[in-house]
Structure 1
Amino acid sequence: MAVTAQDEVARICQELIRIDSSNFGDGRGPGEAAAAAYVVGLLEEVGLTPTVIESDPGRASVFLRIPGADRTRPGLAIHGHLDVVPANAADWQVDPFAGVERDGCIWGRGAVDMKGMDAMILATVRELARTGTVPPRDLVIGFFADEEAGGVHGSQYVVANHPEIFAGVSEAISEVGGYSVTVPGADGNPRRAYLLQTAEKGILWLRMTAHGRAGHGSVPNDENPIVRLAQAIARIDAHEWPREFIPSVESLLDGLADLTGTSYAGGDLDPLLAHLGGAAGFVRGTLRDTANLTMLEAGYKQNVIPQDAHASIDARFLPGHDETVMKTLRDLAGDHVDIDILHEDIALDSPFSGGLVEAMIEAIQAEDPGAEVLPYCLSGGTDNKALSRLGITGYGFAPLQLPADLDFAPMFHGIDERVPVAALEFGTRVLARLIATC
């Protein structure tokens, strides 16, 4: 009996998780070379010839072009990333790099973000190769390094140095959208809605430095940089960023209101967003610009007042708000405090319309009749940002049909990350349908 994508997707997911590709974002970590070699082996096993691009030793990305029936049509990129955020094993119920199957789920770092989707892509592509299926248009399959640190050694490097990889490609799909949430329908019956990611907030990773006068810890000092930094942090934390509904967010809220019969006309979103469970956090992050303090660094001895003190900020901005956010933060930081940009990337806003969107919706509804598909904006970012610099319109579409009682969204970068085996199998069926019809 022929092996299908559904037969092997769980195994591939487990084997990818067992390859530790933790990305600490500061040069530490094993890199992606071992995971890339595994991907290359799976593709070569079915007669395919992938390309490996290294930005630095050990920072490997893998690509494959599958010719389509109509090569005059613009191509479609389907991409994932091979790195994962670190995991502290002591916090988990299981070894985060063991890839165990438990309670019908594959557990481990990357099960959700995003080795589960990598496995779905690999299993689907392997089935295409085994069956000799030719897609309607060219497919470019990609597995990037370094997504979890902004893509400097992955998507950003490839786009800048090897744009030919994506020659002729006009659209792309990747993480984070496509998963289901179960909400109470207006008629009292539960309804499944799939969140198709059409937009992403922009990224500003910042380092704030407060300057002052060094001195002895026993001497009063009205130019203490730690105090100045603390005051700046307090002002930034207390700032109320204005609320704004961009089109994708407004469409999500309207669609959710229609599904559930819950109005938000008075401006109170809490009853409406409560229907989304853990996914509400992602949505709340897209209602306004945000700036979160994430790291502190100051001093080197108990009885010494240092000359400088530092803090890190993770700011995310809505489309078109980058300059406004930077001006606001610098004003809030005040005198004697500098803000430097360590990493900046654009916001994205793609239309919830067109042939690819229609094909994604039809593929979902073919496997889950009666389901709704709604657009949404991601509060984080993906490698679609880099591809947009080549004129490629990107969407988040990693299709998963999830149990109503699984609080899925908080598992992104969380502990006890896991994905149901049945959801992975569902995803391979949806991807196969999408590839056949897009």
Structure 2
Amino acid sequence: MNAPGNDQHQPTAADEVVGICQDLLRIDTSNYGENQGPGERKAAEHVAGLLADVGLEPQIYESRPGRASVVARFEGSDPTRDALVLHGHTDVVPAQASDWSVDPFAGEEIDGLLWGRGAVDMKDMDAMILAVVRQMVREGRRPARDVVIGMFADEEAGGVLGARWLVDHHPELFEGATEAVSEVGGFSVDVGGRRAYLVQTAEKGLAWLRLVADGRAGHGSQVNHENAVTELAAAVARIGKHAWPYTLTPTVERLLRGVSDLTGLPFDPEGGADREQVDALVAALGPAAKFVGATVRHTTNPTQLDAGYKANVIPGSATAALDMRTVPGHDAEAWDVLRELAGPQVRVETIHADRSLEVPFSGGLVDAMVDALHAEDPGAAVLPYTLSGGTDNKSLARLGITGYGFAPLRLPAELDFAGMFHGVDERVPVDALKFGTRVLDRMLSTC
């Protein structure tokens, strides 16, 4: 290997990113929840090897056997400045191979697209981070400030065995860090014939809940006014059909104003959240409407039902699972309404819950993101948005670290990017990965 600063014949990040992403896609890190799955150890060792290969000193941390995260610190040119956490996760949601057009763990490149589980969530960003950091170290370039590189386990199950565990047990790893950058932001959409990049500055709160109805067990032929299944079914129907009012946060308002400016569609938030105006502006975002449309209100989706063991036996209890996502700044009101909808006969138990986040679309880091995008795509618009899901930024927020979503990808307007997350035939354009390495390099050099 050539000495740092001598980059002659060395591969660039754009040269390496596809191969790194393919290697990660070929490592099955499926996370089935409840500590089920192959784990992230193999991926963590691969990541650590890529970082150590250029002279960094990564460390692997296991919360449980096989549940491995990697952390390394890349010293910046100004050690007096607050550090930045640049993080990804190496676990993925499971994939049913029979549903896919290709092997979801083969990492195939077909017609300029890289296919595989994790191609957008989020081994694409993992690869971009690793490729950029490797290039910078090889060339003897430092980021503008210290960068803590994290590749975490267990994000797809709430980060309990990954980022949350590291924050709780090894907070010293993030010493001096005040800001973080991770997934689900910086991707492009077509709005009114103009390309716009959406930087994630907010996340909805999440709560995976269990609804429990207790009743009186008995014979299926008897009259039973304390039937747990009946009580539960009524509660699930009320919750699932509830029409949550539109609640626009500052981030959502700013996004919709930007879409209004680009399209000419009307928007008058001062007059209240006009559903027709909001729906039209959301629809103008094309495939990204799947993300944004869920951020203008709370959502409560029943996801599982369980009761009884025989057709002629009335069970003594019945349970359902519920996925609730709350609008930032309005979490408490959502919980109050949920309990009212559940009713007095149904208990609401928490399986896993985490906070909502909303941070300013301003400051030096945001300026660096916007400038880096404009340098690679002049004339594009850059707007903030709220993520309907969640990221490991929720865990880092426990340390007072302000998190953004910025995995920059210039995408074809027709690509249903939002539909790729946890979807079938997940894939990302190769050109978008190379574009992302250039943007991240610029951002790290100036932020």
TM range (shorter): over 0.9
User: Could you tell me which residue of structure 2 aligns to residue 286 of structure 1?
Assistant: 295
Shift of 1:353: 0.5
Q: Which moved more, 1:127-136 or 1:9-18?
A: 127-136
User: Could you tell me which residue of structure 2 aligns to residue 339 of structure 1?
Assistant: 348
User: Could you tell me which residue of structure 2 aligns to residue 233 of structure 1?
Assistant: 236
Amino acid at match of 2:235: A
User: Could you tell me which residue of structure 2 aligns to residue 206 of structure 1?
Assistant: 209
User: Could you tell me which residue of structure 1 aligns to residue 257 of structure 2?
Assistant: 254
- Write the distance in 2 (CA, Å) between the matches of 1:267 and 1:406: 27
User: Could you tell me which residue of structure 2 aligns to residue 187 of structure 1?
Assistant: none
- Write the distance in 1 (CA, Å) between the matches of 2:102 and 2:300: 33
User: Could you tell me which residue of structure 2 aligns to residue 101 of structure 1?
Assistant: 109
| Residue in structure 2 matching 1:415, options 412, 421, 424 | 424
Q: Which moved more, 1:25-34 or 1:244-253?
A: 25-34
User: Could you tell me which residue of structure 1 aligns to residue 18 of structure 2?
Assistant: 10
**Once the two structures are superposed, what CA deviation does each residue of 1:152-202 show, in whole Å capped at 9, x if it has no partner?**
001111001101111001111001110000122xxxxx2100000000111
Shift of 1:278: 1.9
Amino acid at match of 1:194: Y
In structure 1, the residue corresponding to 2:194 is in which secondary structure?
Answer: strand
User: Could you tell me which residue of structure 2 aligns to residue 374 of structure 1?
Assistant: 383
Does the Cα contact within 8 Å between 2:25 and 2:117 map onto a contact in 1?
Answer: yes
Q: Which moved more, 1:69-78 or 1:234-243?
A: 234-243
Shift of 1:44: 1.6
- Write the distance in 1 (CA, Å) between the matches of 2:51 and 2:377: 30
1:298 aligned to 2:301? no
Counterpart mapping for 1:151-162 below 5 A: 151-162=159-170
- Write the distance in 2 (CA, Å) between the matches of 1:23 and 1:142: 18
Amino acid at match of 2:440: L
**Once the two structures are superposed, what CA deviation does each residue of 1:12-53 show, in whole Å capped at 9, x if it has no partner?**
111101100011112210111011011011112222210111
Counterpart mapping for 1:382-393 below 5 A: 382-393=391-402
Shift of 1:82: 0.6
- Write the distance in 2 (CA, Å) between the matches of 1:60 and 1:142: 11
User: Could you tell me which residue of structure 1 aligns to residue 137 of structure 2?
Assistant: 129
User: Could you tell me which residue of structure 2 aligns to residue 86 of structure 1?
Assistant: 94
Q: Which moved more, 1:51-60 or 1:261-270?
A: 261-270
- Write the distance in 1 (CA, Å) between the matches of 2:35 and 2:312: 32
Amino acid at match of 2:118: G
Question: In percent, how many aligned pairs have the same letter?
Answer: 62
1:54 aligned to 2:62? yes
1:30 aligned to 2:33? no
User: Could you tell me which residue of structure 2 aligns to residue 173 of structure 1?
Assistant: 181
Amino acid at match of 1:43: L
Q: CA RMSD in A?
A: 1.1
- Write the distance in 1 (CA, Å) between the matches of 2:102 and 2:80: 49
Counterpart mapping for 1:259-274 below 5 A: 259-265=262-268, 267-268=275-276, 269-274=278-283
Shift of 1:267: 4.0
- Write the distance in 1 (CA, Å) between the matches of 2:98 and 2:314: 35
Instruction: Could you tell me which runs of 5 or more consecutive residues in structure 1 were left unpaired when the two chains were aligned.
Output: 185-189
In structure 1, the residue corresponding to 2:197 is in which secondary structure?
Answer: strand
| Residue in structure 1 matching 2:438, options 402, 417, 429 | 429
- Write the distance in 2 (CA, Å) between the matches of 1:298 and 1:264: 47
Counterpart mapping for 1:192-203 below 5 A: 192-203=195-206
**Once the two structures are superposed, what CA deviation does each residue of 1:360-405 show, in whole Å capped at 9, x if it has no partner?**
0000000000000000011111000111111111100000000111
TM-score, structure 1 normalization? 0.97
1:65 aligned to 2:57? no
1:224 aligned to 2:227? yes
In structure 2, the residue corresponding to 1:389 is in which secondary structure?
Answer: helix
Instruction: Could you tell me which runs of 5 or more consecutive residues in structure 2 were left unpaired when the two chains were aligned.
Output: 1-8, 269-273
Amino acid at match of 1:249: V
User: Could you tell me which residue of structure 1 aligns to residue 370 of structure 2?
Assistant: 361
How many pairs align? Answer: 433
Does the Cα contact within 8 Å between 2:87 and 2:181 map onto a contact in 1?
Answer: yes
User: Could you tell me which residue of structure 2 aligns to residue 319 of structure 1?
Assistant: 328
Q: Which moved more, 1:235-244 or 1:407-416?
A: 235-244
Counterpart mapping for 1:397-412 below 5 A: 397-412=406-421
User: Could you tell me which residue of structure 2 aligns to residue 119 of structure 1?
Assistant: 127
**Once the two structures are superposed, what CA deviation does each residue of 1:235-282 show, in whole Å capped at 9, x if it has no partner?**
112222121110000000000110111123454123322221221021
In structure 1, the residue corresponding to 2:403 is in which secondary structure?
Answer: strand
Q: Which moved more, 1:246-255 or 1:338-347?
A: 338-347
Shift of 1:330: 1.4
